[in-house]
Amino acid sequence: MKFFIDTADLTEIRSLASSGLLDGVTTNPSLIAKSGRKFADVIAEICEIVPGPVSAEVAGTVYDQMMAEAQVLRKIAKNVTIKVPLTPDGLRACRHLSNDGTMVNVTLCFSAAQALLAAKSGASFISPFVGRVDDIGWNGMDLIADIVQIYNNYDFRTEVLVASVRNPIHVIEAAKMGAHVATLPPAVLRSLFSHPLTDKGLAAFLADWAKTGQSIV
């Protein structure tokens, strides 16, 4: 499974990129707004830090506006992925951009039917929002299972990018189902390291080592 992080915080991106665990970054207008900086500048800097896909979302809601914005965004760097909403105009833009060799992330997916349409439109990534589905009393992981099964049935090249991830359970369940990517808030990615038995075991090893009075270097 590939790990993307869902943030526009450059400090977090640099830190996690240095770990070697980061495969890409997703952003959205809300995350960019929190940075307080110019959109294009933030995306350009992220693309310099992370060589993998970096999603930059269009603000337009109609086809012509989406395409005009996409032309600007994809010139920022070769690894920019244009992010479009799962609407008729968004999928029309997806088809034309994909045909032109541009990576496209179709976002705000909440049903398997929508995911099927995105794959048929040539999306590089589909972003189903598991946490938001959970929030309305449904099971977000059931959505991931359905999309993965449908894509496997027809050998679609679209990668399932699990979004709105709230906890490590979402990550592990998605990985078990065969989802290609999880985009995580930095705190959730860091939480994958944590286990009380790891902490306990390390403390015991260090205590025993200290008793030897030795030094490796």
Cα-to-chain-centroid distance, residue 11: 17
Task: From the candidates 2, 75, 83, 176, give the one annotated as an active-site residue.
Answer: 83
Rounded to whole angstroms, the Cα distance separating 1 from 213 reads: 42
109 with 115: CB under 8 angstroms? Answer: yes
Rounded to whole angstroms, the Cα distance separating 164 from 22 reads: 17
What separation, in Å, do the N-terminal and C-terminal C-alpha atoms of the chain show?
37
Rounded to whole angstroms, the Cα distance separating 11 from 2 reads: 21
Rounded to whole angstroms, the Cα distance separating 118 from 15 reads: 33
> What is the β-pairing status of strands 181-184 and 24-26?
unpaired
Residue with tokens 């495969």: 23
Per the annotation, the verdict on 38 as an active-site residue is no
| Residues belonging to the active site | 83
